Amino acid sequence: MKRWDLRPFETKNLFNPAFCALLMMRSLEAFEAEDPRGIPFSLSLLILPLSLHKNSRDVLALSSRSYLLKTIEDNPPLLISLAERVTEMLPFTFEAFGLAMQMGCFEVTSEGRFISKPRTTKKAMTGTEESISCQKVARLLGREFARVGDRVTIYTAFGIRP
């Protein structure tokens, strides 16, 4: 991970740790609404690569009323290079979690699940149209991951070896 002042302008804007942390928190909160045990660490790694990637985000946003597994089955292009994107996004995901943890936004359970702390993010989504879209998809992913409930099923559906 490059020092902040050495990163390209585009990287600073798109992968801003505060924005990425907000996406993670939207997903955590949505997951907890369905499953109060919190989101497993392994599933949290999929949030940024899916919610920041425009093509993936558009597919997921359009099928928000459908089941996640059905959406994946109906849209094979969603899987193209996802495993590579997850790997490439790991440093940004860890940076976002580091910032959110430092700000006291969540805690880690003994089972390795993340649980958000109350009143750490605003309920209202603000920002540009694109940033709101990212937040909505992150929330959708949290909710759908909780509904599926099985990490192996989710990773397998996305074509990633768990």
Residue 69's domain comprises 17-157
109 located within any domain:
yes
As a whole number of angstroms, the distance between CA 122 and CA 82 comes to 30
Q: Encode the chain (162 residues) as per-residue pLDDT tens digits.
A: 677 777 787 777 778 889 999 999 999 999 999 999 999 999 999 999 999 998 888 888 887 677 888 888 888 888 888 889 999 999 999 999 999 999 998 999 999 899 998 877 787 788 888 889 999 999 999 999 999 988 888 988 888 876
Torsion, Cα 1 103 127 137, to 10 degrees, reads: 70
Residue 1 lies in a domain: no
Assigned domain for 6 exists: no
Q: Flag whether 57 is in a domain.
A: yes
> For residue 13, with 0-12 CB atoms within 10 Å meaning exposed, 13-18 middle and 19 or more buried, which class applies?
exposed
Q: Which residues lie closer than 8 Å to 7 by C-beta, 6 or more apart? A: none
Q: How many domains does the chain have?
A: 1
11 found inside a domain: no
4 in any annotated domain: no
